Structure 1
Amino acid sequence: MKKITIFILIIYSVFTFSQNKKHELPWSNGALQVSSNNRYLQHKNGKPFFWLGETGWLLPERTDRDEVDFYLSQCAKNGFNVVQVQTINAVPAYNKYGQPSMIDGFNFTNINQKGIYGYWDHMDHIVKTAEKNGVYIGMVCIWGGLVKSGKMNVDEAKSYGKFLAERYKDSPNIIWFIGGDLRGDIKTEVWEALANSIKSIDNNHLMTYHPFGATSSADWFNDAEWLDFNMFQSGHRRYGQRKGDGEIKKLADTEEDNWRYVEKALALKPLKPIIDGEPSYEDIPQGLHDANEPRWKDSDVRRYAYLSVFAGSFGHTYGHNSIMQFYRPGLPPAYGAKRAWYDCLNDTGFVQMQNLKYLMLKFPYFDRIPDQSIIKGEVGERYNRLIATRGNDYLLVYNYNGRSMEIDLSKITGKQKKCWWYNPRTGDFNYIGEVDGSKIMQITPEKENGESKDFVFVAVDAAKNYLNN
């Protein structure tokens, strides 16, 4: 990056940071907790928390302080309130300053050396900068492949968990991630030791498990006391791409149906909230490993987000190929990354994710449920699938490819219903009109620039004023 570009990024970061300071910090509403209906997250004072995550896996390893400030300010500006990071991706891991995460195995006694800006000093800077920007850090303690290969045993997990919990238990913006792209039935005893070690010291922060692609934490840990909410990784494959793992063994040609993981988890007891913590990334090859494959686009990341949330997820995590690895020219790219991460912060998917959070927070939050009975006729499969969610007096239907649909307006209260189209690309509502609330409404989204685009159909009890129309 040229010096002038760095200067501009720093100035813009300082400006954005000063703007963000004016906003209410989330934890002023109290700590995060699971809602009383066990489906969503909320703050202690009852304010709903819609998780809008960004995937910043290599943030601790590949950024300096100024880049941390700029990146987190851009996340906050675009509505992200959680950033998921790999705390360490090697034993030891090294940051951009050349400092290691460990000096002697998992012994952290001498990790803070006087006069040296160390690995954990930089991690502290990430946490504190995120805090100032109103962003939670989803802290993946250690990447799963390291544990699988024997880089951390049970005793080391206990030691590491104690170190992490004591260091960050008083930070208001921590969410603990056990696991890291690994099935929960691999080295289970290590994950249990790490989770329980952290929880024995820090019971103030929520905890989940980040699993391997096409699997869910609910498959192994739904009964675990330390697991506050479930997470699944729907993964990066298109229909027909599979390796025979996870749910794909049982459900052929369902690779992109992330709503299935939500339905399955919400049918379990005890009921726990669930989220897609790693769907297809924007600008990454379909299936990951062949850079010549087509790449996932903004429309794909929107589709994953709306399908999952309308199926009952309490939020969603977005990812971008270049951003998650903080790729820049001169570094070895993974998964065919070509563009510098800082040039991707204006990409369409990154910018548009906030429209989902905006929509979901417009309506009464905790009474929302998935309800496919709203849709009459065929709900559809694959890209034709319609997916519906509702509260007592509002309903939403996501339509990916602009096909005609029939909506049962009687599923919510109100003799009359006011109806809109919501544009997930712009965040705009287009008023359709007021109709008989007992009817089956046949409707087709209008084409945009001559093409069918994804839209959300919105109907609200006419006596309510959620959209100020």
Structure 2
Amino acid sequence: MKRILFYLCFTCFFYQVFSQSHNLPWKNGALQISSNSRYLQHTNGSPFFWLGDTGWLLPERLNRDEAEYYLEQCKQAGFNVIQVQTINGVPAMNFYGQSSMPDGFDFSNINRPGIYGYWDHMDFIIDAAARRGIYIGMVCIWGGLVKSGKMNVEEAKAYGTFLANRYKDRPNIIWMIGGDIYGNIKTEVWNMLANTIKSIDKNHLMTFHPFGRTLSAEWFNDAPWLDFNMFQSGHRRYGQSKDDKKTLLPQGTEEDNWRYVEHSLAQKPLRPVIDGEPSYEAIPQGLHDPKEGFWKDNDVRRYAYWSVFAGSFGHTYGHSSIMQFLKPGVNPAYGATKLWYEALKDPGFNQMQYLKKLILAFPFFERVADQSCIAGNNGTKYERLIATRGNDYMLVYNYTGRPMQIDLSKIHGKTKKAWWYSPRNAELSYIGEFSSKVETFQPEGGHSNGNDWVLILTDGTRKYVEALQ
């Protein structure tokens, strides 16, 4: 009997490992830009929808067991990219008290026998993520460190050489230059870091993580090392930008992250774009003062659907307690009180997967943003409706549950079938079949912020929605 139980347990374990290894996304090939320059795909042509979490201090704050637990919870919640600060200091120190730079920017003796060093722990995290099919978006060094002179051009070359040689053969790396900084500050350092990595690593995509309410295309859209654009829509609510002259959007439009997408997609050359840092769940509105109130799950849903429906190739979520990995013994920032492992239960963290599920249920590469699908008023601020469509399907996001007039003729089909899809729990509700050109739709629940729904319309003969049931 013991032999039988052992055999069954071993068989189950082997099957689980074998199944995971064969479902890894890079089995479809490396990530690359789609032929229409709007999305990401694998080399075999299969689509990649980026659903990221900002695990910024993961390499510094978590031990091995904690890192494994966090990454597993991310996998279960549908995340496939974790953005991390590779180093948040010069040097950075991790949970095990190990320095990222025991010899400064000389990495020739970084692998010390008998010592589980800083980069050994980074290797562990990257490999643990890889076992779960998760990419690591590596912000090589946080921007403030470069701004203050902690890394110059020659040091950037040495650091980039080290990083590229160490991780060029890992399947799950995405390079992120910058780190919460304007691209016109220390530009020569960023270019050296990026070009050095790219000269060695031909396998992985690269972007630039900019300062709040700015877009990488403002400085680097023509850079040969930039594969896709990233913006940080930031943490301010409408009217909080005050006299900030450096933001891309004017005062009064701070939460309109869809505007960054439109601006980016109007640039030449055309590149894919993503919101790499929107308002976090449970962080103060405006970032610094808890008395201003905190962003909630309905807010992070709105940022996600607005951005993706406007044309982003994916989305990155964030949570205040998770990004700083708040735990006993750690001083909280930004008014955070909830421990990071409790925050993994919060609704916004667990609702992001429904957006990925929705987008992947329909033809991926033909999807475009199309506000002409809205026959009535697009709306401003929270009333803004965002429409995206393919040839024979249409999706419209409505944050406030208000009535909306939709032009059904924008997609193919003699008749159109319609459903409501809930961003809160992915529930579907069939509305009916229509043959008229324009119809008015209003979801249940009344007209109020956070009563958000997606209207799904398809050619009456299509079966796309079956994937959502």
TM-score per shorter chain, which class? over 0.9
Deviations 1:415-439 (A, max 9, x none): 1001000101111211111110x42
Aligned to 1:462: 460
Aligned to 2:57: 58
Q: Normalised by the size of structure 2, how large is the TM-score?
A: 0.94
Deviations 1:373-430 (A, max 9, x none): 0101210000010010000000000000000000000000001001000101111211
Is 1:389–1:396's contact at 8 Å kept on the other side of the alignment? Answer: yes
Aligned to 2:385: 386
CA 1:350 to 1:273, structure 2 compared with 1: closer, same or farther past 3 Å? same
Aligned to 1:80: 79
Percent identity (aligned)? 67
* Shift in Å, 1:345: 0.6
Select which of 435, 441, 444 maps to 1:443. Answer: 441
Aligned to 2:30: 31
CA 1:384 to 1:19, structure 2 compared with 1: closer, same or farther past 3 Å? farther
Whole-Å Cα distance in 1 between the matches of residues 374 and 72 of structure 2? 40
CA 1:290 to 1:62, structure 2 compared with 1: closer, same or farther past 3 Å? same
* Shift in Å, 1:149: 0.2
Is 2:401–2:448's contact at 8 Å kept on the other side of the alignment? Answer: no
Aligned to 2:169: 170
Is 1:215–1:246's contact at 8 Å kept on the other side of the alignment? Answer: no
CA 1:243 to 1:99, structure 2 compared with 1: closer, same or farther past 3 Å? farther
Is 2:82–2:137's contact at 8 Å kept on the other side of the alignment? Answer: yes
Whole-Å Cα distance in 2 between the matches of residues 225 and 200 of structure 1? 11
Whole-Å Cα distance in 1 between the matches of residues 450 and 325 of structure 2? 34
Q: Partner of 1:420: helix, strand, or coil?
A: strand
Deviations 1:139-171 (A, max 9, x none): 000000000000000000000000000000000
* Shift in Å, 1:467: 1.4
Is 1:20–1:133's contact at 8 Å kept on the other side of the alignment? Answer: no
- Counterpart AA for 1:51: W
* Shift in Å, 1:210: 0.1
Is 2:402–2:446's contact at 8 Å kept on the other side of the alignment? Answer: no
CA 1:133 to 1:113, structure 2 compared with 1: closer, same or farther past 3 Å? same
Whole-Å Cα distance in 2 between the matches of residues 407 and 432 of structure 1? 14
Whole-Å Cα distance in 2 between the matches of residues 128 and 388 of structure 1? 38
CA 1:199 to 1:243, structure 2 compared with 1: closer, same or farther past 3 Å? farther
Aligned to 1:284: 283
Deviations 1:423-465 (A, max 9, x none): 01111211111110x4201111111899971000010001211
Whole-Å Cα distance in 1 between the matches of residues 188 and 279 of structure 2? 30
Whole-Å Cα distance in 1 between the matches of residues 404 and 75 of structure 2? 36
**Unaligned stretches of 5+ in structure 2?**
1-12
1:7-406 residue pairs with structure 2 within 5 A? 21=20, 24-242=23-241, 244-245=243-244, 248=247, 251-406=250-405
Deviations 1:215-251 (A, max 9, x none): 0001000011100000000000000111544664752
Deviations 1:34-53 (A, max 9, x none): 00000000000000000000
375-384 or 310-319, larger mean C-alpha shift: 375-384
* Shift in Å, 1:107: 0.7
Q: Partner of 1:138: helix, strand, or coil?
A: strand
CA 1:343 to 1:311, structure 2 compared with 1: closer, same or farther past 3 Å? same
Is 1:248–1:255's contact at 8 Å kept on the other side of the alignment? Answer: no
Q: Normalised by the size of structure 1, how large is the TM-score?
A: 0.94
Aligned length: 454
* Shift in Å, 1:252: 2.0
* Shift in Å, 1:137: 0.1
Q: Partner of 1:180: helix, strand, or coil?
A: strand
* Shift in Å, 1:21: 2.6
Is 2:400–2:448's contact at 8 Å kept on the other side of the alignment? Answer: no
* Shift in Å, 1:281: 0.3
Aligned to 1:9: none
Whole-Å Cα distance in 1 between the matches of residues 362 and 353 of structure 2? 16
CA 1:198 to 1:368, structure 2 compared with 1: closer, same or farther past 3 Å? same
Q: Partner of 1:33: helix, strand, or coil?
A: strand
Whole-Å Cα distance in 1 between the matches of residues 247 and 190 of structure 2? 24
Whole-Å Cα distance in 1 between the matches of residues 50 and 364 of structure 2? 13
Whole-Å Cα distance in 2 between the matches of residues 41 and 451 of structure 1? 32
Is 2:321–2:339's contact at 8 Å kept on the other side of the alignment? Answer: yes
Root-mean-square deviation (CA, aligned residues, Å) is: 1.8
Is 1:401–1:453's contact at 8 Å kept on the other side of the alignment? Answer: yes
CA 1:256 to 1:19, structure 2 compared with 1: closer, same or farther past 3 Å? farther
Is 2:34–2:41's contact at 8 Å kept on the other side of the alignment? Answer: yes
